[in-house]
Amino acid sequence: MTDILKFLNENSAALTVIFSAAVTLATVVYAILTWILVSETRKMRQVQTEPKIEISLQSFDIAVHIFRLHIRNIGLGPALNIKFSPKIVSGGESAQTLITDFTKTNFFKIGLSYLSPGEQRLSHYTEMTNDHNGKISSVIAFDIEYQGPTGKKYKETLTIDMSEHKGTYQLGKPHLYSIALSLEKLQKDLHHVSTGFRRVRADVFNSEDRKAEQQALRERIENERAK
């Protein structure tokens, strides 16, 4: 024990330096971790208020040859003052026809002032039965500019490659569409019955018919017994 105390007394200065260095290192590490945590928190808050515009190409459920664009805000914050600038990547006149068809919806010309998170808008449609080979090989793009709620501006280019849908087909009718057709037919039948357009055929069974049936049944039984 005496030797230990003697060693500490003789090397107290060195030990103080080592201890101070350890404290300093721990402080630096703590400061770095705090900075990282603050940065991650700032990024999370930014993501929670950041808009993100998506443009996807989808066909109608009831007609796979008819396509339109779905413009949706997939971010967590609203998108403001959205502007669209379409352009041709490849495809020439066929690509121009696609742009003309899709952008008949007026917001492509005047923009969108507000698009809330999860909200979507639909473009006009194009029919792939007209100039199918040219359209299905075309590639178009949209330069998009918009703002977030904090005033931050965003600019990006979204590409629509029509060839990704080449060979798409559908077997049968969509379930919801079939159900809708069945309900519509049922509604028409009920309307015809209620308005007398179609009369319900019904055979009336009165007391005289019942007596005749009972008499025929008794005669049949007696004939069976006579045999």
User: Which CATH number fits the domain that encloses residue 60?
Assistant: 2.60.40
Give the separation between CA 58 and CA 61, rounded to whole angstroms: 9
Residue 90 has pLDDT above 90, yes or no: yes
Average pLDDT, the chain: 82
Residue 196 resides in a domain: yes
Query: 29 and 74 share a domain?
Result: no
Q: Are residues 35 and 65 in the same domain?
A: no
**pLDDT tens digits for range 11-26:** 666 667 677 778 788 8
28 domain-assigned: yes
Residue 170 within any structural domain of the chain: no
E strands, 25-135, in order: 53-59, 66-73, 79-90, 112-115, 120-127
Same domain, residue pair 158 and 58:
yes
Evaluate whether residue 63 is within a structural domain: yes
Whether residues 149 and 108 fall in one domain = yes
Same domain, 159 and 64: yes
pLDDT at 179 over 70: no
Residue 208 and residue 157 share a domain: no
Q: What is the pLDDT of residue 47?
A: 59
Tell me which of 129, 144, 165 is where a domain ends. Answer: 165
b/e code 22-37 from CB counts within 10 Å (16+ = b): eeeeeeeeeeeeeeee
pLDDT above 80: residue 77: yes
Q: Is 131 left (phi over 0), alpha (psi -120 to 50) or beta?
A: left
| The predicted structure's pLDDT at residue 183 | 72
What's the domain count of the chain? Answer: 3
Q: State if pTM tops 0.75.
A: no
Do 36 and 64 reside in the same domain of the chain? no
Specify if 126 maps to a domain: yes
Q: Report the pLDDT value the prediction gives residue 114, as an integer from 0 to 100.
A: 95
One domain for residues 148 and 180: no
pLDDT at 52 exceeding the cut of 70: yes
Considering the domain architecture, whether residues 34 and 125 belong to the same structural domain is answered as no
More confident residue, 188 or 150: 150
Regarding whether 192 and 91 lie in a shared domain, the answer is no
* 59 and 75 together in one domain: yes
Range of the domain at 38: 1-48
Residue 220 inside a domain? The answer is yes
Whether the per-residue pLDDT at 208 is higher than 60: the answer is yes
**85 band by pLDDT with thresholds 50, 70 and 90:** very high
Tell me the pLDDT band of 123, cut-offs 50, 70 and 90. very high
Q: Are residues 183 and 207 in the same domain?
A: yes
